[in-house]
Structure 1
């Protein structure tokens, strides 16, 4: 059995990919990592990640392109704000028997691949408090005609999830997307999320043995960078509400730049093995739409955060 990590990136997000890989390799020098190119502008980031971290490019680029185009066309070419996010669905058909998908706007604080040990009991894992914020960025209230409130506690953030190769077939993907396209009223795309609503629907509908790792016997730590109650411990963080160290930190919906939440953590991992530039671009809060998203998300997640 093989285990590995998938990421998506292009040259524009080289810095984020380096920070993520530096954090992964701080705790784990062995687990293979495969890059799924976000678009055709990926050669510089691929070269850097291969050279420094042994990251390999997904070996069937034609399949990624075909899969992405067909999934996009089911909804219509202009429906999604960021249709290339669906390229990550190639995870189901790559080289790893058990895999973790992880967004590049994340850094980890442990040997994160060990979290896949729970796949001995489950077929799909997530690890976040997306469900605590209500339906926003995933579903609309119309989804209650499909899933019960109890089932909807299984909602998750699309930036971190783990599963098994070929658990879903390529046809399963096409069938699910067609079902979703027939009912766009179920989904919340108001803040330009693309893949998260669809993959949530697919997992809730098709995977019974699923588990959210933060809902274990001991309530797990949060991981969203918009949370203000994390306490810094060196270049790691402690969730003071549950008195546990974070497994990872995710800047979902937050532009990573000087002045953003937990900037020092990200900056540490980005420049872990090279000199930090003398000057870095300064943020402009008055022009930064991501700050509005942070306020919205804090209101949505106030029950937990």
Structure 2
């Protein structure tokens, strides 16, 4: 049985709607299960069930047990957003093969078809996180102390999109991995308030040898990060003009607040209000702050002096 997991609470309702609209546009039937991000999820669970047939994860006791064990091992306050670890419930849910997707994503294809590659591998990702080096995942300590080889570090990935198989990791595997990580916090880069990404990368690189990054299928697979400004819209999708006008598989606003004026706001708004004949108008831009005005004035004075 195949399906998609997401994590969400009522706070990210708008993002979840955009994601589900995009999933359902290309795949009306794929099962989707919600892993509650916290206890504030009743409204989003009700809406997603009624509008898209999304189920809520059944073993909520396991999610609480995982959260408590995380606190027991790392201590409260270690992570900026510890609830991101709730996505690890994917290993123990209803789907034999699953895809996990963050809610700050929209997809441009029948995204669950990527699970076909699990016939050859046990873990899949699909991004260019590795091309930026080890930032936001590891520190140079992992190289200096031989924790991972240079080749292994080319397999680091973004924690917002990944696929695997039920039972590949046991509950004890997770706890053992957590214990190894807290024993060496100097290995991990939390400087930009990432939480689960360094830990899940460590876990996969250490415990799952049959892994594959789908962007390695050929040299013209487009990227997926909304911080890349060269993508162009073509109808309902984005294309990459630098890679033969190939269509993106999905777009991820990782680290970017989704709001008017953000990169590719038009494509996100398109999916959020898909099928709505009267989408709301964008609010007017916020007035420029006094701080920004002063910076511009100072910059102007400096230019005049320099000239």
SS of residue matched to 1:100: strand
Stretches of structure 1 lacking an aligned partner (at least 5 in a row): 288-305
Q: TM-score, normalised by structure 1?
A: 0.91
SS of residue matched to 1:232: strand
Counterpart of 2:226? Answer: 225
Q: Which deviates more from structure 2 when the two are superposed, residues 52-61 or residues 217-226?
A: 217-226
Paired with 1:150 and 1:281, the residues of 2 have a C-alpha distance of: 48
Structure 1 260/66 Cα, relative in aligned 2: closer, same or farther at 3 Å?
A: same
| 2:237 aligned with 1:236 | yes
- CA offset digits 1:187-226 (Å, max 9, x no partner): 0000100000000000000000000000113441100000
Larger Rg: 2
| 2:249 aligned with 1:247 | yes
The count of corresponding residues between Structure 1 and Structure 2 is 286
Counterpart of 1:164? Answer: 165
| 2:199 aligned with 1:198 | yes
Q: Which deviates more from structure 2 when the two are superposed, residues 28-37 or residues 72-81?
A: 72-81
Structure 1 282/48 Cα, relative in aligned 2: closer, same or farther at 3 Å?
A: farther
| 2:82 aligned with 1:83 | yes
Structure 1 286/189 Cα, relative in aligned 2: closer, same or farther at 3 Å?
A: farther
Counterpart of 1:277? Answer: 280
SS of residue matched to 2:19: helix
Counterpart of 2:215? Answer: 214
Contact 1:15 1:270 in 2 (8 A): yes
Paired with 2:171 and 2:288, the residues of 1 have a C-alpha distance of: 43
Counterpart of 2:260? Answer: 258
Deviation at 1:282, TM superposition (A): 4.6
SS of residue matched to 2:163: strand
Deviation at 1:277, TM superposition (A): 2.2
Paired with 2:289 and 2:248, the residues of 1 have a C-alpha distance of: 30
Deviation at 1:241, TM superposition (A): 1.9
SS of residue matched to 1:34: strand
Paired with 1:46 and 1:281, the residues of 2 have a C-alpha distance of: 31
Counterpart of 1:290? Answer: none
Counterpart of 1:149? Answer: 150
Contact 1:259 1:283 in 2 (8 A): no
Q: Which deviates more from structure 2 when the two are superposed, residues 10-19 or residues 213-222?
A: 213-222
Paired with 2:123 and 2:200, the residues of 1 have a C-alpha distance of: 12
Paired with 2:186 and 2:284, the residues of 1 have a C-alpha distance of: 40
Structure 1 216/286 Cα, relative in aligned 2: closer, same or farther at 3 Å?
A: farther
Stretches of structure 2 lacking an aligned partner (at least 5 in a row): 291-307
- CA offset digits 1:77-129 (Å, max 9, x no partner): 11000000000000000000000000000000000000010000000000000
